[in-house]
Amino acid sequence: MAYPPGQTTEEYEVQFGTNHIGHSLLTKKLLPLLTRTASSSPRSDVRVVSVSSVAHKFSPSGGIQLDTLKSTASGMSNNDCYGHNKLANILFIRGLATHHSEIIAASIHPGTVKTDLQKSNDGSWMINVFQKVVVPLIGISVEEGAKSQLWAATAKGVQSGEYYVPVGVSGEGSQLSKDKALARKLWDWTETELESYIG
């Protein structure tokens, strides 16, 4: 969360490389097993759950900015970068649901969970206030935060492609998170980027 500027060894902006490219690659490598399992029985229930965040609403106004993804994104604040990759998590799940209807794919916001994640701070006053004032006041335990993931992974009625806030509430995503053209653009870009890693 709000990690200092940098790049992965593959030259992606560090937060985007970690939170989107890495997760997408893992999902893509698991897809043959997931699709085989889903088709093995009409009662199979194969799911992919992505942990996003309400912080996706802090992504830049134009949504996913593809020209910043193979850079340090120096024109964006660390908070913008975090929002950027959390938006990508939601859009990727929407794309996965579109391209693989045999799998239930959902993204969730776990809530404001009291963990050490908030300790990684770039020194921005906004993050400091959030960590020192907001999280202690409204933050929930790790056990409470896990309920959203568990719900999305096990509950009946989870809608594939949907973004949920605690616990199981849909319809709370930003307009950008519902943008089908943006989801398609990110999906296509990600597929191209991952080609060299799939062997």
Catalytic residues: 82
> CA 55 to CA 68: how far, in whole Å?
19
**Sign of dihedral through CA atoms 64, 138, 116, 24?**
negative
Q: What is the DSSP string of 109-170?
A: ---SB-SGGGG---S-HHHHHIIIIIHHHH-B-HHHHHHHHHHHHH-TTPPTT-EEETTTEE
